[in-house]
Amino acid sequence: MAKRVPVVGEELRIKGRKATVSSVNNLDERRVHVQVALEVINKNTKLVVDQSKKKKR
């Protein structure tokens, strides 16, 4: 996977999303658990629809 172990507080990009490293746990020489916090993406952006352009019936 990665060539080096990330440091706590480091900014990463995982699958195109921004993440920051929250903690790093060394299990043994080869295994490392890295906890990350992903940036929140708000997908519920509501567009303002201009009601004056709608056809009145």
pLDDT at 57: 67
C-alpha 28 chain-centroid distance: 28
The pTM (predicted TM-score) of the whole model is 0.64
pLDDT in tens, 25-56: 999 988 999 999 999 888 877 776 667 776 76
Q: How far apart are CA 31 and CA 2, in angstroms?
A: 12
Per DSSP, the residues of 13-53 read EETTEEEEEEEEEE-SSS-EEEEEEEPP----PPPPP-GGG
Q: How far apart are CA 20 and CA 35, in angstroms?
A: 9
pLDDT at 3: 84
Q: Find the largest Cα–Cα distance for the chain.
A: 73
